[in-house]
Structure 1
Amino acid sequence: MHLSKYTDYSFRVLMYLGIHNDRLVTIAEVSGVYDISKNHLVKIVHHLAQSGLIKSVPGKKGGIKLGREPKQINLLDVIEITETNFDLAECFTAGGYCIIQNNCKLTKILTEALFSFFKVMGKYSLADLIRSDGLKSQIRKMAV
């Protein structure tokens, strides 16, 4: 399983907002800290705002902030919002064909592995990601 950059950057935005939960943050700030294209972040922030994970405050003194408490943002929910494809092999795709498909156990094993991944990710929240004082310190230094 490989998570897309879109999901990776979504997690980074959420982590940054979670650590700076006491104030509004700008997209330019996040872009500068993580060295991610501002245009790319605008799309991600828009999508996260549509899903309710973050709130966007318009205006000159506006910015973005979490839409929920960090403990209420489940990591699996983020993945389900940001990923569009969980096909681990060609036989998972619609119309995918494999000549040994009827006798192959790989699909069953990969499905079991995928559901195990979902189960583990579903056990954790954004609060678990930002709990580390070392991470908080590092991200705060990057913001300066």
Structure 2
Amino acid sequence: MQLNKFTDYALRILMYISSAKDTPYTIAEIATDLQVSQNHLVKIVHFMGKQQWILTTRGKGGGIRLNPGALQLKLGSIVRILQGETPIVECNTPPCVLRSRCGLKGILDEAVEQFYHQLDQYALADVLTAPPQPARSSPIALINL
């Protein structure tokens, strides 16, 4: 399953603004740092504000902050909302001649549910710290002397 750009950028924004404790981020800052158009960013920020994942303040000293409660949101819930109800395959438009004897849609729908179930094992807070990376072996250490 591939995340749409809206979902991808929204997750990046949530992670990006999570580091701000006192100073809110501006649309311009986020757009520059994440290399996203400001127009697109405004739409995403507006949507996330309506979900109450972020707090927005207009005017001087205003900006965007992460709602502290958003850290506990499950990733599966976040992605479901961002992705919307778009089916992974569309069998009705145009009508597929295989509909009456096809089991693929059911299998793919089940796979998508497993995808969301796996994401629900983690909260937003879990992705804000990178897990420790295993130490790389030195090429010299791999040679038997």
TM range (shorter): 0.7 to 0.9
Q: Give the equivalent residue in structure 2 for 1:72.
A: 72
Q: Give the equivalent residue in structure 1 for 2:122.
A: 124
Q: Which runs of 5+ in 2 are unaligned?
A: 133-145
Alpha-carbon distance in 1 for matches of 2:8, 2:81: 12
Tell me the SS of whatever aligns to 2:18.
helix
Q: Give the equivalent residue in structure 2 for 1:139.
A: none
Task: Please tell me whether the aligned partners of residues 54 and 70 of structure 2 are also in contact (alpha carbons under 8 angstroms).
Answer: no
Task: Please tell me whether the aligned partners of residues 53 and 69 of structure 2 are also in contact (alpha carbons under 8 angstroms).
Answer: no
Bigger relative contact order (CA 8 A; separation at least 6): 1
Tell me the SS of whatever aligns to 1:65.
strand
Say which one has the larger Rg: 2
Alpha-carbon distance in 1 for matches of 2:101, 2:32: 52
1:3-25 Cα distance to aligned partner (Å, 9 max, x none):
11111110111001112244311
Identity across matched positions, percent? 36
Q: Which amino acid aligns with 1:47?
A: F
Alpha-carbon distance in 2 for matches of 1:29, 1:100: 50
1:57-115 Cα distance to aligned partner (Å, 9 max, x none):
12210111112345312212222222234311122x5x553222222211221111011
Alignment pair present for 1:108 and 2:106: yes
Q: Which runs of 5+ in 1 are unaligned?
A: 135-144
What TM-score do the two structures reach when normalised by structure 1?
0.81
Q: Give the equivalent residue in structure 2 for 1:81.
A: 81
Deviant stretches of 4+, over 4 Å: none
1:111-136 Cα distance to aligned partner (Å, 9 max, x none):
110110110111212111111289xx
Task: Please tell me whether the aligned partners of residues 31 and 41 of structure 1 are also in contact (alpha carbons under 8 angstroms).
Answer: yes
Root mean square deviation, CA, Å? 2.0
Q: Which amino acid aligns with 2:112?
A: L
Q: Map of 1:1-144 to 2, 5 A cutoff? A: 1-91=1-91, 97-132=95-130
Q: Give the equivalent residue in structure 2 for 1:138.
A: none
Alpha-carbon distance in 1 for matches of 2:116, 2:77: 10
Q: Which amino acid aligns with 1:26?
A: T
